A and B are shown apart, each in its own frame.
Chain A
Amino acid sequence: MNCLLDRFLSCKASDVLWVAEAVGPVNITRLTQAFSCIDPSGWQGKRVAIGALPVLEFVTTLAFLDGLAQAIVLLPTEDDQTTRESRLTQANIDIVIEGHGLDFVNLLAQFDVVAANGAAQLVVPVRPAGIQTTWLLPTSGTTGTPKLIAHTFVTLTRSMTKRRIGGDYTWGSFYSLRRFAGLQVFLQSWMCGTPLILCEEGADLHDVLTRFIDLGCNALSATPSMWRKLAMHPLFDRLSLKQITLGGEIVDQSILDMLANCFPGARITHIYASTEAGVGFAVRDGIAGFPVDYLLQPPSGVAMRIDGQNHLWFGTKLPESVAVGPETGWIDSGDLVEMQGARVCFLGRANGSINVGGNKVMPEEIESVIKELPNVGFVQVRARKSAILGNLVEAAITPTPGNVFDATFKKQVTAHCRARLDGFKVPAFIVAADDIKLTASGKLSRTDLR
């Protein structure tokens, strides 16, 4: 397979691709009918940027353009004007698609899903021979200057399961699909022939969960922060999950245990992926970190090594990237790791440490210790300026529902940290966090750390 539409050769005309609020289930027949209304020649070889679009329009556009356009840039919707323009120039863009886009939503609405479900013949749309479209993906920007990383359909799906799983699973889209992690969910469900429930970006969590429950969603992928946020929602227990995927942030033991307890029998996968290196691998044994053996026997062909500064490096096979020049050989992931027995564990981002009087403190390490307490729902560790030592450690905590943030709670957190951490790592300040702010890619925002 070289492009998205190639999968049509190996699936059934009635396979449901997406369930969208506006038009209900979209199967392959319905999609090809919509495609046949648009002349592909105008898009052939073009360099296209995709801005803000309704989610159904967005995925339909991706399926339409892959193999047709020369390059696709997924513009982050939160970009300011300057960043946006610099991305457009950098990627040499001909056309920006936004607003209603090509109005696929309207076209899809015109074709009746009931008719398509019957004996309708699959009409493969007439298109020029597929080319290898370059996908330019923005990095999350949590760690400095945002970049565009070049991928292709092949590099994006390299480590994915390609066997047909079909209707046993129904995935929910929880991430922004224009980000690396969300794109992985979109592509994985596409590759396996499993329906994906689409949700608009920024939709109310209560509405999203209600939809997932009503539509029988049994597979979800989210960051550990998003899972914690979900777990604090009253509807969380009503989800019935068979597949749980975590990635994008450090996956610690407490979150793995919590999910295993809530959903006994579910397969829990934690994924380590690097947009920069264009690689990723999955761990399924329910233990934080990954086996040391992976350094010798790389999973799915992803070679790894650890340097003298404890940075994790990847062997990469990325095509030439417009943003960062040719990348072959090894690439620094920027993640700090530590060998703990037979596991390699993640400590945090190398450039994300807090300097307390000359001592380097990784916020993720302290967060992970605080999260061991069962009454802690959410915690973010950050720097607080100090005239004396440069920085002090501050922990902002949301207790789990039913627990109060009071002096006793604070004392308990302090005592736990003191028992588990060096003195300079124990939060000097413990404050209540009223609102949990996650970035567009579902991660704890760390921009105020430095």
Chain B
Amino acid sequence: MATPRDQIIMAIQETADMRGTEVGVLTDETVLLESGLDSLGFAILVARLEEEFGYDPFVMMDEPVYPSTLGEFVAIYQRFAPQ
């Protein structure tokens, strides 16, 4: 079964594909805004993931957190995952 991390990577690839940009190899250290996603792409990614996971951590968080790497981004989704 695909882990949330796999699903996120797949969604990044699909979003980039849709936006007509290329993403390279994605690791935990990859900086999101250098991965081929701009701010619009990032907004689309979050909306897609909300559809897939059923929640949007960026709406749920009290203090805004801005993940810069893929690892931090995945961690945010794991932290806010419904128990």
Contact = CB atoms under 8 A, between A and B. Distances in A.
Q: Is chain A's binding surface mostly helix, strand, loop or mixed? A: mixed
Given A386-B47, A389-B40, A428-B18, 9 more contacts: A356-B40, A387-B46, A388-B43, A389-B43, A392-B43, A414-B18, A418-B19, A428-B43, A428-B44
B18 A388 contact: no
B46 to A, nearest CB: 6
A356 B40 CA distance: 9
Interface in B36-63: 39-40, 42-44, 46-47, 56, 58-59
B20 A388 contact: no
Contact of A386 (B18, B19, B20, B43): B43
A418 B20 CA distance: 8
B20 A357 contact: no
Contact of B19 (A357, A384, A423): A423
B41 to A, nearest CB: 9
Contact of B46 (A386, A414, A423, A429): A386
Contacts, number: 37
Contact of A384 (B42, B47, B58, B59): B47
Interface residues of A, number: 15
Nearest to A410: B18
Interface of A: 356-357, 384, 386-389, 392, 414, 418, 423-424, 426, 428-429
Contacts of B40: 356-357, 389, 423-424, 428
A95 B20 CA distance: 63
B42 to A, nearest CB: 6
A388 B58 contact: yes
B46 A388 contact: yes
Interface string B56-81: 10110000000000000000000000
Contacts of A428: 18, 40, 43-44, 47
Interface in B12-50: 18-20, 39-40, 42-44, 46-47
